[in-house]
């Protein structure tokens, strides 16, 4: 079996990929994640997933590389990782009582072939009060998460509903789509 590499340093994606019980390593992709001017969130997610996979595949011939990216969208605009407590509070306040779209793209590449899938997850946020937002940000420190929450933790308490084809996509790696792509690439899954 060819080597399998996750083009990511995200512990969330690594934890998800480990569910497939395939041996893999992680390599940080050297990719500029800056959105292009007027780039729609879906195109940004798919472009970055492919860029991450191909960047790592270029330095690891013979390996299959998994790149993934997630972009949250509110009112047609992308929401990135907040990075600061203030930005996290601002994002959560903006999403309060609203529906937010999460585009999670995955690309499997050997440098020549590029197999891609995208999941669209719709998250309905309940009305959030400032003190709830403050307590949540203090408790989970979701500064490295698109949309400022961790759905696998306390972030689930911020929602009214989640609509998705793949429940793992919201965490950052759509395993249903990825499994299909890995089979398409010829890798045997347990």
Domains contained in the chain, number: 1
Q: Report yes or no on 175 lying in a domain.
A: yes
DSSP tag of 37: T
Residue 190 lies in a domain: no
CATH number, domain of 29, equals 3.90.950.10
Whole-Å CA distances, 50 to 8, 34, 44, 106, 131: 12, 14, 10, 7, 39
By DSSP bridging, strand 99-109 and strand 77-79 are unpaired
Alpha helices in the chain, H assignment, sequence order? 11-18, 41-57, 85-95, 130-140, 175-184
Q: How confident is the model at residue 1 (pLDDT cuts 50, 70, 90)?
A: low
Over residues 44-90, the pLDDT tens digits come to 999 999 999 999 999 999 999 999 999 999 998 888 889 999 999 99
For 179, residues 6+ apart whose C-beta sits below 8 A from its C-beta are: 20, 189
Query: Helix, strand, or coil here: 107?
Result: strand
Residue 52 included in any domain: yes
**Residue 189 domain flag:** no
Active-site choice (69, 110, 119, 166): 69
Asked about 131 being catalytic, the answer comes back as no
Residue 11 included in any domain: yes
Q: Evaluate if pTM is beyond 0.85.
A: yes
Range of the structural domain that residue 94 is part of: 4-184
């Amino acid at each position: 079996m060819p080597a399998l590499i996750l083009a990511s340093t995200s512990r969330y994606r690594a934890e998800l990929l480990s569910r497939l019980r395939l041996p893999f390593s992680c390599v940080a992709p050297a990719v500029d994640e800056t959105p292009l001017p007027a780039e729609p969130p879906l195109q940004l997610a798919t472009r970055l997933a492919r860029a991450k996979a191909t960047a790592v595949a270029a330095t690891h011939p013979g390996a299959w590389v998994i790149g993934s990216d997630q972009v949250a969208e509110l009112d047609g605009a992308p929401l990135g990782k907040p990075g600061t407590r203030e930005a996290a509070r601002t994002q959560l306040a903006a999403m309060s009582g609203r529906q937010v779209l999460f585009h999670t793209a995955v690309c499997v590449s050997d440098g020549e072939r590029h197999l891609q899938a995208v999941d669209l997850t719709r998250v309905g946020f309940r009305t959030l009060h400032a003190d709830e937002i403050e307590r949540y940000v203090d408790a989970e420190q979701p500064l490295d998460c698109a949309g400022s929450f961790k759905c696998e933790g306390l972030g689930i308490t911020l929602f009214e509903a989640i609509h998705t084809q793949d429940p793992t996509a919201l965490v950052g790696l759509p395993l249903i789509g990825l499994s299909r792509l890995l089979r398409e690439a010829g890798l045997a899954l347990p």
